[in-house]
Amino acid sequence: DAGITQSPRHKVTETGTPVTLRCHQTENHRYMYWYRQDPGHGLRLIHYSYGVKDTDKGEVSDGYSVSRSKTEDFLLTLESATSSQTSVYFCAISEIQGIYGAEAFFGQGTRLTVV
Amino acid sequence: AQKITQTQPGMFVQEKEAVTLDCTYDTSDQSYGLFWYKQPSSGEMIFLIYQGSYDEQNATEGRYSLNFQKARKSANLVISASQLGDSAMYFCAMRPLKGNQFYFGTGTSLTVIP
């Protein structure tokens, strides 16, 4: 199994508070991603990183920020949590896609509830 | 823009029968990869199979095969000899060769009936 660890695995927080989710990899993969999963929406990309300090927005980036100061760590921050950010968050990693493809490997997920 | 469509929210299949899960995609890219993932009720995302857009043969991995029709932009997953453990959500995804992102469909929930 790919070495990806998400922390925490579960979190309940109050509206308006900041929250940081951590993704740690031991695979030295270049790309790291944060997705959220909601019923009926599948997985939607929040932000991704293609190297240390290199990040870009996904389709649902509003209200989220990320940082990657080391190859192995990718942090997702909700600056001021809202109930609409209640979701399951997945971190994923991948290598550069070549002719043989490069699948994404996923962490176990973080279930975040904003009350 | 990239878009992945899975039109079957839920599917049922009898144990030991084959089942096809549909996936169509919309892209202007010429080179891309197509992926299928399984998500059991425990929540983890499990990679199943990969197909490159330039591969002439359909990909196979054990009981999984990918029915790839490039002109129709479809990448259907075929599961043969269904087992009870195949009950799960299944997601189709695409990654352009030049791009960094994975684009996912909304998923199909498969239930295998004993």
Q: How many Cβ atoms from other residues are within 10 Å of residue B89's Cβ?
A: 19
How far apart CA A52 and CA B60 sit, in angstroms, is 36
How many Å separate Cα A106 from the centre of its chain? 10
DSSP secondary structure of A2-61: --EEEE-SEEEE-TT--EEEEEEESS--SEEEEEEEETTTEEEEEEEEEETTEEEE-TT-
Q: From the CA of A85, how many Å to the nearest CA of chain B?
A: 18
Whether residues A97 and B47 touch (CB distance < 8 A) is answered with no
User: With contacts defined as CB-CB under 8 Å, which chain A residues touch B50?
Assistant: 101, 103
For the segment A84-95, the average pLDDT, to the nearest whole number, is 96
| pLDDT given at position A101 | 66
**Phi and psi torsions of B53, nearest 5°:** -65, -20
Average pLDDT across chain B, whole number: 94
Shortest CA distance to B2 belongs to which of B67, B76, B92?
Answer: B92
Task: Check if the beta carbon of residue A99 is closer than 8 Å to that of residue A85.
Answer: no
Model pLDDT for residues B17-49, shown as the tens digit of each residue:
999 999 999 998 888 999 999 999 999 999 999
DSSP A84: G
Shortest CA distance to B36 belongs to which of B101, B94, B84, B85?
Answer: B94
A91 pLDDT band (50/70/90 cuts)?
A: very high
Whether residues A88 and B43 touch (CB distance < 8 A) is answered with yes
- For the cut 60, the answer to whether the pLDDT of residue A99 exceeds it is no
How far apart CA A23 and CA A55 sit, in angstroms, is 14
Chain A interface test: which of B42, B45, B64 (most A C-beta within 10 Å)? B45
- For the cut 70, the answer to whether the pLDDT of residue A50 exceeds it is yes
